[in-house]
Amino acid sequence: MRILITAGPTREYLDDVRYLSNASSGRMGYAIAEAVLAAGHQAVLVSGPVMLTPPHGSEVHPVETTAELHDVCNRLFQDCDGAIATAAVCDYRPRARFPGKLAKTGVSLELELVETADVLADLGLQKGHRWLVGFALESDEFAHVNALRKLKHKNCDAIVLNRPTAIGSTTNQIEIINPVGATVASFSGAKTDVAHELWNWISVQLVK
């Protein structure tokens, strides 16, 4: 099988120097790519800017902005059997990108933000016979409800719920939620181990 995997953060530029982003390390996505490869499948890794070496044997497509991630994933998904979306996508971008470097003027700067493309939802619209697993990073008491809402809105076959403590960490604790809202599996430990457990679950429950 040929599996599309997204990993790492995206960046949205204010000017040619400054950008909005997040602290995603990409470790979870890269670990999943390793698990997919170890199982004898093809890993198509679409990665935002991270300080990691791609797993040997993976097909790597580096991206930086959400628009780039969106375009590359839409193109590559056509030839894949399924997708696992772990990328920490910027939900907003500055409406305008200023050329060069903005200089201080002594007054405050108002920044207008607009929503970026919804990569996962667009993959869900075109998935057809393929399967789709998303990640939901939630922090409040309604985490499970929010994750289920994301699953339904983005037409995923399962959603992986994790917490902000996963950001930048080598460990993770996840719950897998199915379309009826049940937690069907949970794993914790090193991200490499969690990735193998997650892939084993996917290969049994979703791969046809």
Nearest-10 crossing angle of helices 27-38, 191-205:
50
Quickly tell me which residue has 């990640």 as its tokens: 135
Residues in the chain: 208
Q: In the prediction, which pLDDT does 55 show? A: 97
d(CA 20, CA 172) in angstroms, rounded, equals 24
Does pLDDT of 208 surpass 80?
no
**Count of alpha carbons within 13 angstroms of residue 192, beta-carbon side:** 4
Question: 62-110, pLDDT tens digit by residue?
Answer: 999 999 999 999 999 999 999 999 999 999 999 999 999 998 888 898 8
Q: What is the DSSP letter of 78?
A: G
Strand partners of residue 160: 135, 176
What is the arithmetic mean of pLDDT over 134-154? 93
Mean pLDDT over each residue of the chain, to the nearest integer: 96
Q: In the prediction, which pLDDT does 91 show? A: 95
Superfamily of domain 2-93+113-205, CATH level 4: CoaB-like (3.40.50.10300)
The domain segmentation of the chain, as residue ranges, is 2-93+113-205
d(CA 87, CA 30) in angstroms, rounded, equals 10
What is the arithmetic mean of pLDDT over 194-207? 96
What is the arithmetic mean of pLDDT over 102-122? 93
Q: What percent of the chain has pLDDT over 90?
A: 90
Q: In the prediction, which pLDDT does 126 show? A: 94
Catalytic positions are 22
pTM: 0.95
- Lowest mean pLDDT: which of 107-111, 142-146, 148-152, 193-197? 107-111
Does pLDDT of 156 surpass 80?
yes
